A and B are shown apart, each in its own frame.
Chain A
Amino acid sequence: AQSVAQPEDQVNVAEGNPLTVKCTYSVSGNPYLFWYVQYPNRGLQFLLKYITGDNLVKGSYGFEAEFNKSQTSFHLKKPSALVSDSALYFCAVRDTGRRALTFGSGTRLQVQP
């Protein structure tokens, strides 16, 4: 069965500093990996995905993620955090045998001014 782990319930970072939100996954085949963001009282918004190709994936709002097959990780990163980045971030995975996404438990990112 596929699974996703987001080991940090909350990440705190100062505005202007780099941020990392961690994600590790477990799938039986090749992974399709996604990051979504949820702002209060809103639905999830797609940030980026890894299907194949370069291990560094660039997405919306200056976010990027690095796929590491040996560590089965897909950490979300941003070089310089903004207060407006404060939100709930979800990592999700799909393996080639299934169509549905499995989401992690979410990490709340708090960017302090």
Chain B
Amino acid sequence: DSGVTQTPKHLITATGQRVTLRCSPRSGDLSVYWYQQSLDQGLQFLIQYYNGEERAKGNILERFSAQQFPDLHSELNLSSLELGDSALYFCASSFGLAGDNEQFFGPGTRLTVL
């Protein structure tokens, strides 16, 4: 158990809909990262927050957005969903801002868009 929690574990929805994925980092970790894992794209970094502020952006679509709240939990919002958004979405956390700290991954949310 990494100490990172993600809810829900599974999400099935239809194209065009909007969903919210939630992540609680390990106690004491200030950085939260979101990743998307799919068969064709592999594991891709989406976005990083540190202590409530966006700090790095990867291959995140404009239809996707995220935020980190004062209690440090984070939410990833996916809107206007397409079939291709079906994937495993992982949240990871680490203590510092820099990337030399290992990241601890949650169990993921499996999103299926029908």
A interface residues, Cβ below 8 angstroms from B: 32, 34, 36, 41-46, 49, 51, 90, 94, 98-106
Contact = CB atoms under 8 A, between A and B. Distances in A.
Given A43-B4, A43-B90, A106-B42, A99 B107 contact: no
B19 interface: no
Contacts of B102: 34, 46, 49
B104 A100 contact: no
8 contacts: A43-B106, A43-B107, A46-B103, A49-B100, A99-B56, A100-B33, A100-B99, A101-B99
Contacts, number: 56
B48 interface: yes
Contacts of B58: 100
A21 to B, nearest CB: 16
Given A43-B105, A43-B108, A44-B105, A32 B99 contact: yes
Contacts of B97: 99
Contacts of B100: 32, 49, 51, 94
Interface string B83-114: 00000001010000111101111111000000
Interface of B: 2, 4, 33, 42-45, 48, 55-56, 58, 90, 92, 97-100, 102-108
A106 B42 CA distance: 8
B59 to A, nearest CB: 10
Nearest to B42: A105
A49 B98 CA distance: 14
A27 B31 CA distance: 23
Given A90-B43, A105-B42, A106-B43, A98 B99 contact: yes
